[in-house]
Amino acid sequence: MKIAVASGKGGTGKTTVATGLAYIISEKGIPVNYLDCDVEEPDGHIFLKPEIETEKPVGVLVPKVNLDKCKNRKRCGEVCQYGAIVNTEKTALIFPELCHSCGGCSLACPENAITEVMRETGTIREGKSGRIGFIEGRMNIGEVRAIPVIKEVKKRCPADGITVIDAPPGTSCPMVETVRGTDFAILVTEPTPFGLNDLKLAISVIRQLSLPFGVVINRYQRGFPEVEDFLSSEKIPILSRIPLDRRIAIAYSHGRLIPQAVPEIKRNFSEIFYKVKEIIDEGVSGSKR
Ligand code: SF4
């Protein structure tokens, strides 16, 4: 079972939910893995404090021009749709950060002057946090392409047990790449106008992917019922309401797992787990309702 934890915007408590859920599942004696696909800012490690066993670079293929062969026919610059190759009067200049590794330039070069070389863009760290398997993707500073790193993290997803995947915030390509192919999406929101607006965006993406999903309302308090009214009108299941509680904020600021630090919150995480399991078991899709 692969469960993605996503949100329409940052700061809603997505990592709080993902790490707490992985912890609760492990407490039940069920094999569980946590994958951090929020590769621009992976912070699950702060809460899970894993022992890292391996650390491997990941990269993408980018072109390299063999100047001895290049006759400056300028085909590479014409083919590249990303401005990653600029032809000057004398040679071809490559901007590897802009390259999307399509391979078009090496195919187009009539002199076979372009080869592809590996360029490191990030790191994959693997280890253990107690009984929780831990895999994290981390982009190098200055890189702009998150998806190759996310794909590498997902490739390492163990086949057995339950996997909780921490998705990047927002609704752009990295989020889509992360949730695609999972069995269920948990959308984390907060009871504010911004929270509701971005939740609606996230729901529209998840519906297009035809994934079953439910919503966790974090920092729950009465006073902004519009989120619940909207979910009720759309018949979208609320998986849990995690209360606005100063103890949670303090535990979070100390990098502690919430269900460990505030024991009565454990029941919220168990509630999330059992509701997700029930929906998957019943084959009920929030997206098909
Ligand atoms: S591999 Fe594709 S994106 Fe990269 S420089 Fe060549 S044509 Fe441009």
- Give every CB contact of residue 252 below 8 A, 6+ residues apart in sequence: 16, 258
Q: Which helix (H) or strand (E) holds 118?
A: strand 114-129
Atom of ligand 1 nearest to the CA of 79: 7
- List pLDDT tens digits, range 129-179: 999 999 999 999 988 889 999 999 999 999 889 999 999 999 999 999 999
- For 69, 129, 158, 182, the CA distances from 53, given in Å and listed in that order, are 44, 11, 16, 26
Residues with CB under 6 A from ligand 1: 63, 79-80, 82, 84-85, 99-105
- List pLDDT tens digits, range 194-217: 999 999 999 999 999 999 999 999
Opening angle at CA 13, ends 192 and 265, nearest 5: 105
Most informative mutation of 62, 85, 121, 144 for ligand 1 (most atoms within 8 A of CB): 85
pTM: 0.90
- Give every CB contact of residue 52 below 8 A, 6+ residues apart in sequence: 125, 126, 127, 134
- Tokens representing residue 148 in the block: 């190759």
- For residue 237, the 8-state DSSP code is P
List of domains in the chain: 2-31+161-288 (3.40.50.300), 59-120 (3.30.70.20)
Is 287 a residue whose pLDDT tops 70?
A: no
Distance 101 CA to ligand 1 centre (A): 5
Distance 118 CA to ligand 1 centre (A): 13
- For 128, 198, 249, the CA distances from 216, given in Å and listed in that order, are 26, 14, 17
Atom of ligand 1 nearest to the CA of 103: 1
Distance 124 CA to ligand 1 centre (A): 25
Is 38 a residue whose pLDDT tops 80?
A: yes
- List pLDDT tens digits, range 78-110: 999 999 999 999 889 999 989 999 999 999 999
Task: Please report which residue ranges of the chain form alpha helices under DSSP H.
Answer: 14-27, 44-48, 75-79, 104-108, 147-155, 173-179, 193-208, 226-233, 246-253, 258-261, 266-282
Is 253 a residue whose pLDDT tops 60?
A: yes
Report, as an integer, the average pLDDT of 27-39: 97
- Note the pLDDT of residue 284: 53
Mean pLDDT for the chain?
94
Count CB atoms within 10 A of the CB of residue 30. 13
Distance 145 CA to ligand 1 centre (A): 14
